[in-house]
Structure 1
Amino acid sequence: MHQPHKSIIMKISLVVCLLFVGTWITKKGHFSATDTPFEAEIKAFETQDQQSPPPQNAIVFTGSSSIRHWENLSTYFPGKPIIQRGFGGSELSHVLLYADRIITPYHPKQVVIYAGENDIAMGKQTGRQTFDRLVALFTHVRQKLPDATFTFISIKPSPSRRQYFAENDTANQLIKDYLATQANTQFVDIRPIMLSKNGQPEPILFKSDSLHMLPAGYERWGRVLSPYLK
């Protein structure tokens, strides 16, 4: 008589537990199976790979629009096999979500990441939460690609996002300190070459939105990054 009632209670408890875990995972920066932002862009990459196989033993550049909008990326690094996989206004959590579709399948010798800026400005994450997301991404990539060099480009000082500079600095410092404890990693600080003598970001490097970069900005990035590429 009481067994069906007990069974129903157990099932309800299990559902509640699963909902709680799902909510916790989302807050940690991961996504449910039905939450797939930027899916169209990822599928376009996969179609591109089918039509034109990517180079072997390459360097994958991925992350947010600062990578996506980097026109003629490979020309900045002559002789380097580059695969450009920046997408949307992505956050570190999105890069993790799609890592097994846009990073690990290529078995690259190096992974270059620019993300984190949108986590703070759009995802409303703190610097520490953004760092936690980076650690989750790094851990996943390192497990799948133990021999690949992992390179993180510091979060840039975009003039339109001055209110987030403190959180950006926190994230950058935590990430830099963490990667220094891990083998075969690099933290590339591009902030110094983007600042004027008064310590403010140089407007000539940015488009009218004061967020995305002009070729002048990418030229500076290219000069700083070049020595780090394998």
Structure 2
Amino acid sequence: MKKIFSVLLLIAFTLFFAQEEKPMFWQDIQEFKKQDQENPPAKNSILLIGSSSFTKWTDVNEYFLGKTIINRGFGGSRLTDLNYYAEDLLSPYQPKQIIVYCGENDFADNAKLRADVVVDRFKSFYKKMRKKFPKIEIDYISIKYSPSREHLWPQMKQANKEIAKFMWREKNAEFIDITRIMNDQSGKIRKELFVEDMLHMTPEGYRLWTIVMTPFMK
């Protein structure tokens, strides 16, 4: 009896620690795999990869009629997470274009983080994308200036500037700047484009993104 109890206890501890050791966003990635299994992803689609600004854009296909879009935004992901899960985010798909929105949460995770660190994180992910897809269009959407993160804007602006320079030097790559269209005539961010948390956007915010993004969509 004691022996059976010991075995059951060992199994319980093993299962408990196995669950505890799962990395952040593991469940999100498993959900993507489940979706892909139930509905095989279309070839020559536009693949969105990034953080919650994509995650919450649940009706993105309605904004880009005639386009086939696969949305793989997850949680409050950072560029470190995109690099960690790069194989899972890229290998299942055969897109004609990838659009990335990520980096905002890197700064939110560490207010002292330098812009060049975030830029290097993006460059690492860009290399992974290019290794997998040497010739397709790869675009980066600029980090938005969320009112709730105003204290981080200086680093974000510098990161946007450096990533823009990097993308302009690359072939089949574009930097999509959504910051200007989100400002009012005096150059201040339009707070009404954000929901109560002053971080995530209203449908009008996404409508403005659509205006800027459309000319870049394949």
Query: C-alpha displacement at 1:123, in angstroms?
Result: 3.8
Q: Which residue of 1 aligns with 2:10?
A: none
* 2:157 matched residue in structure 1: 169
What's the offset of the Cα at 1:55? 1.1
Deviation string for 1:174-193 (max 9, x for gaps)?
00001111110010000001
The answer to whether structure 1 residue 189 and structure 2 residue 200 are counterparts is no
Cα deviation, 1:4-44, whole Å, max 9, x if unaligned, reads: xxxxxxxxxxxxxxxxxxxxxxxxxxxxxx66210001000
Q: Name 2:105's counterpart in structure 1.
A: 118
What percentage of aligned pairs have identical amino acids? 39
In 1, distance between residues paired with 2:36 and 2:152?
A: 37
Distance 1:104 1:229, change over 3 A: farther
1:39 aligns with 2:26: yes
Contact 1:66-1:114 within 8 A present in 2 as well: yes
Residue of 30, 33, 42 corresponding to 1:55:
42
Provide structure 2 residue ranges, at least 5 long, that are not aligned to the other structure: 1-20
Q: Which amino acid aligns with 2:151?
A: Q
Q: CA deviation at 1:166?
A: 0.5
Task: Spell out, residue by residue over 1:73-108, the C-alpha distance to the aligned partner (whole angstroms, 9 max, x if none).
Answer: 011111111000000100011112112112232021
Q: Determine the structure 2 residue equivalent to 1:143.
A: 131
Residues 177-225 of structure 1: CA deviation (Å, up to 9, x unaligned):
0111111001000000101122211011000110000101000001110
Please tell me whether the aligned partners of residues 60 and 103 of structure 1 are also in contact (alpha carbons under 8 angstroms): no
CA distance in structure 2 between the partners assigned to 1:192 and 1:126 by the alignment:
23
Instruction: Classify the secondary structure of the residue corresponding to 1:211.
Output: coil
Q: Which residue of 1 aligns with 2:197?
A: 209
Secondary structure of the corresponding residue to residue 47 of structure 1: helix
TM-score (norm 1): 0.83
Q: TM-score, normalised by structure 2?
A: 0.88
Number of residue pairs matched?
197
Structure 1 stretches of at least 4 aligned residues deviating more than 2 Å after TM superposition: none
SS at match of 2:156: helix
Checking the alignment, whether the CA contact within 8 Å between 1:153 and 1:187 is kept in structure 2 is yes
Q: Which runs of 5+ in 1 are unaligned?
A: 1-33
What is the CA–CA distance in structure 1 between the aligned matches of 2:81 and 2:136, rounded to whole Å? Answer: 20
Supply the distance in 2 between the matched residues of 1:82 and 1:96 (Cα, whole angstroms): 21
Query: What is the letter of the counterpart of residue 142 of structure 2?
Result: S
Residue pair 2:182, 2:193 contacting (<8 A) in 1 also: yes
Q: Which residue of 2 aligns with 1:222?
A: 210
**CA RMSD across the alignment:** 1.1
| Corresponding residue of 1:180 | 168
